[in-house]
Amino acid sequence: MSFKRLIIIGALPSLLAGCSSMFGTQPPAPVFGGQSAPEQTSPRVPEVIRPDQPVVKTKPLKDFSAIKIEPLLPSEPAPVEPLPQFPESQASESISLEPMEQSPPPQPELTPFQPIETTVALSPVVTALVSAANQNTKAGDIESAAASIERAIRIEPRNATLFYKLALLRLKQSKPRLAEDLAKKSALLAVNDNTLKKHCWLLIAHARELQQNFPGAKEAKMKADSF
């Protein structure tokens, strides 16, 4: 019994030495929660060039600063096909646009105007001037006729008939505005002569129509109808 123990005790050191050598060649076990051990890299073995292996020669790259950059030449524009040519007559018919002529708005017709012949008694001097004015009017000399009536008005400045006659002469001279003012003056002076007042407002209506004042002409006609 003691002999076996001696054999076991003698073999125990060699067994422990073999186990230690086995564990020393293995990598250490990983540790959870910590850093892994750095991997061991094998040393790089220099590459041996065989004599039969071709040698590849390399050249250094060129210096880019020495390279000249040439500007790009402008490309030629693409040819443009000409437009088809049309005959002048056809082109004028298809292209020319004439503006539409706008017709003026229709204007109301002028009211017929017929002056009256006054038969009021006048002084001899004024009667002579009125007769001269009538003769000049028939002869077409409206300027002389108007001058004779103006001289008669200076003699009788409140004679409504003279203002009415002068208003008629201003109408013939194409002065409707002045004729309207003279007819108004005549209507104011003809206090009791309703016939003269009516014809004065008819003359005013006609003068306003000549001035394109048709609403005012309508009012003048209504005023004339009141007499």
pLDDT value of residue 117: 73
* Distance (Å) of CA 109 to CA 40, 180, 185, 210: 123, 19, 27, 10
The HSE-up count of residue 153 (CA atoms within 13 Å, CB side) is 19
pLDDT value of residue 3: 65
Which one of 1.25.40.10, 3.30.1950.10, 3.40.50.2000, 3.30.70.1350 gives the CATH number of domain 124-225?
A: 1.25.40.10
The HSE-up count of residue 146 (CA atoms within 13 Å, CB side) is 16
The HSE-up count of residue 212 (CA atoms within 13 Å, CB side) is 3
Tokens of 160: 């409504």
The one-digit pLDDT tens for each residue of the chain (227 residues) are: 566 677 777 766 666 666 555 555 555 555 555 454 455 555 555 555 565 666 666 666 665 555 566 666 656 666 667 666 655 555 445 545 555 666 655 566 666 767 777 666 778 999 999 999 999 999 999 999 999 999 999 999 999 999 999 999 999 999 999 999 999 999 999 988 999 999 999 999 999 999 999 999 999 999 999 98
Instruction: Write down the domain spans for the chain.
Output: 124-225
Return the closest-CA partner of residue 125 out of 155, 95, 92, 103. Answer: 155
3-class SS of residue 101: coil
Q: Do the Cβ atoms of 183 and 204 come closer than 8 Å?
A: yes
3-class SS of residue 107: coil
Tokens of 225: 């109808």
What is the CB neighbour count within 10 angstroms for residue 117? 6
CA distance 151 to 127: 11
Amino acid identity, residue 160?
A
Alpha helices by DSSP H, listed for the chain, are: 2-25, 88-95, 124-138, 142-155, 160-172, 176-189, 194-210, 214-225
Residue 61 backbone class (left: φ over 0; alpha: ψ -120 to 50; beta: rest)? beta
pLDDT value of residue 30: 54
pLDDT value of residue 110: 67
pLDDT value of residue 115: 76
CA distance 64 to 120: 123
